[in-house]
A and B are shown apart, each in its own frame.
Chain A
Amino acid sequence: MKPLLKIAIPKGRIFKDATKLFRAAGLPLPEDFDEGRKLIVQSPEAGFEFILAKPVDVPTYVEYGVADLGISGKDVLLEDNRDVYELLDLNIARCHMSVIGLPDWKPVYYPRVATKYPHVASQFFRERGQQVEVIKLHGSIELAPLIGLADRIVDLVETGQTMRENGLVELEKMYEITSRLIANRVSYRLKNEAIQALCDQLQPVLLTGG
């Protein structure tokens, strides 16, 4: 049988949190997915097919319709600006995006900001009327202020432990980040009933966060 809905989900913890949420909503998912190294996991009883993707690729899969739905962090949605529906705040993988720097940070003449989120960062500072040079990095962002590559960074803060261990402080909170349920434009119309039903089932089990 063809799955009713194809859902793209990041592998790992978000997959576990999301499937837990689905089960709490009464959807008949198997108790123990044999996730293993598989990239596609079936859940025939619920009529779902899960596509396990890299988090940053989820909105792309959904925009191009290879998945009807997806679960994506708001950080990726902000950065990529894909043309998809953002249907529900699932309230999982909560953290925030912040401007981070050394405790004694003072404004500099030629500000440089290192980040994995160059679009979000430039837009944020532009809206503040500040021109900054944005440097895209792929990992270990916390290094940048320590080695003098940038005077500040824009990154996600969950517990703040890495940040503190490297002697950095949160200078400003930018956005609250959680995982969102997103939908393809056409699927949202042509599979309206299945998608609305899923949303209605999920809604009551979502923690209403602040």
Chain B
Amino acid sequence: MSKPKVFEKPIGVRDYLPHIVRRLRQLQAQVLEVMERWGYEEIMTPTLEYYDTVGAASTTSESKQFKLLDPKGKTLVLRSDMTAPIARVAASLLKDEPLPLRLSYHSNVFRAPEEEAGRDAEFFQTGVELIGDHSIDADAEVVALAIACLESSGLQQFKMALGHSGYIDGMMSDLLAGYEAEQHSLKEYLLKRNYVGFSQLLKRLPVSEAVKNSLASVLRLRGGVEVCERALELTASDKAARAIEQLREVYGVLSEYGVSDRVFVDLTMIGDFSYYTGITFEGYAVEQAFPVCSGGRYDFLLQQFGRSAPATGFALKTNRILELLGKRAEESHDESAPYKVLILYDNHRRSQAIAYAQMMRSRHGLMVETKLLADGESPLVEAEGEDCFRYNGRIYHDVITYLDGESST
């Protein structure tokens, strides 16, 4: 391997230039503010964690975690999500805090990118965890909050898919009792979104046509809340029935929040089975090819850290939202850009110029730069468009000069 060139950086990481950072900070502030209004307080955790604790508890597979050694030879990971670190804190530093805990975060996370996949190795997630509340209302609260956050970020056209990990689990245990290995393979196919593999395996199973048809119709359990009816007809499993019951209740509570028109039911959406234990959800926005949000209930994670508690939460894919906002900003005027002022002054009028700059800087929404000119140097300010100015290759909304014997704008 050749030495990297000076402009290169490791695969999958990126620089954020000022106009992007401004947009990111604004997005982060808007979303965290909504979370705060819903009772969630922001928490920060370290970038490094132990592999054996947080790394092992994370849903990110081992091969996708960045690992390194500390000076004593212990394996560390760069955090790959915030859920496991927050579980660790909830079970240690906050173990005497009464439940439920409502915590929010905005943080960079790290995933080793797959070869040539062109995915980010470091990206931002903004999310919440609601720990210690097993109720349907808690499930609905995080879904409604996720919707509120996406709305506050400026996205208009998006939808939230609502599923339940218990349904597929229950219906398969019921219909395919005795075929545990096949159940596992079928779920793997669903997880990998390989419906062809699912159907082909189904065809080979030594079970009745009726059972096969029921399992095949799982792939169509997507749509409005009426999907729940169809789902119940497919199985007599109690577990599946309870899952559907919960799904309906959550949908009902979401109607109370006034956001059920954003929500559709999708029982084919299954998360990692070793992790999600109930309601799961995922958000999709028009013109963004990747989900913008995902979340769900994970009742068994906390016990790995020694404090058994139910929990639910979500993470917004902040970079994906940022990309969308970026597309839009290019199409229209960027509202978030500040009003830029340049003050040019010379030696003789320095004190006035600085006093004025300080006064201007105390006002909100102004960005004030100063520049000392040499004696006799003429300020080469040109008009730029209707009402802007250009100096030294940069654009300003206003240029003020404090030069010997004059003060003008």
CB–CB B223/A84 < 8 A: no
Residues from chain A with Cβ under 8 Å of B291 in the complex: 185-186
- How distant is A79 from chain B, measured CB to nearest CB, in Å? 11
CB–CB A85/B193 < 8 A: yes
Assuming A65-B289, A81-B114, A196-B220, is B193 touching A189 (CB within 8 A)? no
Binding stretch for chain B, among A16-24, A86-94, A152-160 = A86-94
- How distant is B190 from chain A, measured CB to nearest CB, in Å? 10
CB–CB B289/A87 < 8 A: no
CB–CB B289/A89 < 8 A: no
Of A81, A185, A190, which one neighbours B286 at CB under 8 angstroms?
Answer: A190
B273: Cβ under 8 A from any A Cβ = no
Identify the interface centre among A82, A83, A186: most chain B CB within 10 Å of its CB: A186
A116: Cβ under 8 A from any B Cβ = no
Residue ID in chain A nearest B197 by CB atoms:
A86
CB–CB A190/B159 < 8 A: yes
Q: Please, how many residues of chain A have a CB less than 8 angstroms from a CB on the other chain?
A: 22
Residues from chain B with Cβ under 8 Å of A86 in the complex: 193-197
Report B192-220 residues with CB < 8 Å from chain A CB: 193-197, 199-200, 220
Residues from chain B with Cβ under 8 Å of A185 in the complex: 193, 284, 289-291
Residue ID in chain B nearest A60 by CB atoms:
B118
CB–CB A65/B288 < 8 A: yes
Interface residues of B, Cβ cutoff 8 Å to A: 114, 117, 159, 161, 193-197, 199-200, 220, 222-223, 264, 266, 284-286, 288-291
Other contacts beyond A66-B289, A196-B220: 9, CB < 8 A: A64-B289, A81-B114, A84-B193, A85-B195, A86-B194, A86-B196, A88-B195, A186-B284, A187-B289
Chain B interface mostly helix, strand, loop or mixed? mixed
CA distance A190 to B290 in the complex (A): 12
CA distance A81 to B64 in the complex (A): 14
Residues from chain B with Cβ under 8 Å of A184 in the complex: 289
Assuming A81-B114, A185-B289, is B196 touching A88 (CB within 8 A)? yes
- How distant is A82 from chain B, measured CB to nearest CB, in Å? 8
Residue ID in chain A nearest B287 by CB atoms:
A65
CA distance A96 to B117 in the complex (A): 25
A180: Cβ under 8 A from any B Cβ = yes
Residue ID in chain B nearest A67 by CB atoms:
B289
CB–CB B195/A87 < 8 A: yes
Report A152-191 residues with CB < 8 Å from chain B CB: 180, 184-187, 189-190
